[in-house]
Amino acid sequence: MNKKKVIWISVLSVAGALAAVYGIGCGYYSSHLMPHTVINGTAVGNDTAAKAMDALASSEGKVITLVEKDDKSETILLDDIDYQANVSTAAMKQVISSQSAWKWPAYVFKTSNETMDLDVSYDETKLEEALSALNCISGSNVVAPVNAHVERGTNGYEIVAETEGNTLDKDKTLTAVKTALSEGQSEVDLDAEGCYEEPTIKSDDEALTKELNLMKSIENEVITIDLSGATETLSGDALVDLLNINVDDATITVNDDKMTAYVDSLAEKYNTIYTQRTFTAHDGSTVTVGGGATDTYGWMMNKDSTKEAIAAAAVSGQSQTVSAFWDVTASGGRNGTNGDIGNTYIEVSISAQHLWYYKNGSLVLESDVITGKPEHGQDTPTGVFRIWKKEQNATLKGTAWDGSTWSSPVAYWMPITWTGVGLHDATWQSAFGGTLYYTRGSHGCINLSYSVAQSIFNAVDVNTPVVIY
């Protein structure tokens, strides 16, 4: 046999063998899935329809993978959620038919990814519980998104960029997982599915730039508040917190509620009326005085006028000093002798039935007195008061505890409360001091001899404090 004939015989033999293999393959893959076939994430290469259907229906060892940010992922075992899938025979045969058995050699070297609609079921409560237990939902490393915002830094106000964070919207995440399960998918890309919460304001937001420009217009503003012996300053974030930054019309206005609360806090801190004080009495002993609702002496801020002044300064854009307004002032300042009482005052001891008048720390005069009769609510009130006016030749009138009316003309009238208590001459009294007030006490006023009343009237100024204990 010549060489040429041998070659032809070999070629025909190989061709015949390949044809036979091809034919066998065509027959085999007419009822089997192609090699390397993956349906809905499950490898079913070379399986019959029945075997592939069992593989797809089974949940054993299967998971759904949640792909997270930063190359992280977590899984949920399908067995843990009672997952079940029913596969249509017709649908499986359709996949096998669509692969064309005569093309089987082409599938030997590639993966065939197929999808198939499945009739799936699972326990939704168990799915929610499994999802809630994942680190991406409840872990300590979950970071909430932060909007871009304007903040005061070392170089003044600036835009701080947003923080993306890694907080998932649980409802969106649950929906994405349910969709993947219903479609027979084995993986969910949470970022691609839009499950992460996002900042609503980004650093390139036009409104944020406008806000920055407005903030810069006040970033160097300092408002100094003169509180008559004390000062407070408003600047930076504390000042901005009291304002409304109106981006739409590029204006700055006062936040009325916050400004009211701020002025209230100033009044709370610097008002001294109705507060207790430690007072050094004539004999060097210390007495706690004041704190009653009838007190008339001390600092009492006019909050409306003070608020108006601070508000006007705050929106001006200019550093300046504004003065607080006071309905009542303390002539003794704030931190002098006896606090705001100072060293010029009238001291009255009810138990001693005696009065002392000090001016600039020196005793000017002292005298016995008669105070209110201690019955039927006629006691002289204790506290820290002030002479709020001086009047000569006044007629004092009132109604006694028993309903009777009375009228007393006096030469020197110095009221210290808003309810009619004051110092005055009482020429109808023949003596003063001791225990006379038990039987001849007044309706509440401090009775003085004519000469003492005259001396005090001529010596004291309106607003002189009167300390009664």
pLDDT tens string 10-48: 666 666 666 777 778 787 888 898 889 988 778 888 988
Q: Which residues contact 172 (CB under 8 A, 6 or more apart)?
A: 193, 194, 195
Mean pLDDT of 274-293: 95
Q: Are 67 and 188 contacting, i.e. CB atoms less than 8 angstroms apart?
A: yes
Q: What is the pLDDT of residue 23?
A: 79
> For residues 212, 260, 276 and 447, what is the CA-based torsion angle, rounded to 10 degrees?
140
- For the record, the structure tokens of 249 come out as 């019309």
pLDDT of residue 15: 65
Determine the 3-state secondary structure of 120 from DSSP. Answer: strand
Q: Residue 418: CB partners within 8 Å, gap ≥ 6?
A: 294, 296
- Chain center to CA of 77: 42
Query: Among 99-113, 336-350, 362-376, where is mean pLDDT lowest?
Result: 99-113
Give 85-134 pLDDT, tens digit per residue.
888 788 888 888 888 878 888 888 888 888 777 788 899 999 999 999 99
Which stretch of 53-67, 75-89, 127-141 has the lowest confidence by average pLDDT? 53-67
Least confident of 88-102, 179-193, 297-311, 320-334: 88-102
Tokens of 117: 């609609």
C-alpha 36/C-alpha 59 separation (Å) is 20
In which element (H, E) is residue 114 found? strand 112-114
Instruction: Calculate what percentage of the chain has a pLDDT beyond 70.
Output: 96
Per DSSP bridges, beta strands 446-448 and 243-246 are unpaired
Mean of pLDDT values over 331-350: 92
* Bridge partner residues of 84 (DSSP): 121
Pairing of strands 63-67, 187-189: parallel
Q: Would you state the pLDDT for residue 6?
A: 60
Phi-psi region of 2 (alpha: psi -120 to 50; beta: other; left: phi over 0): beta
Length of the chain: 469
pLDDT of 189 higher than 70: yes
What's the whole-model pTM score? Answer: 0.61
The residue assigned the tokens 């054993």 is 60
Mean pLDDT of 351-365: 97
d(CA 446, CA 279): 20
pLDDT number for residue 87:
81
| pLDDT greater at residue 196 or residue 210 | 196
pLDDT number for residue 8: 63
Distance CA 446, CA 414 (A): 10
> Would the pLDDT of 3 be above 80?
no
**pLDDT above 80: residue 242:** yes
* 416, amino acid identity: I
Q: Do residues 392 and 413 touch, judged by C-beta distance below 8 A? A: yes
Instruction: Read off the pLDDT of each residue in 250-267 and give the average, rounded to a whole number.
Output: 95
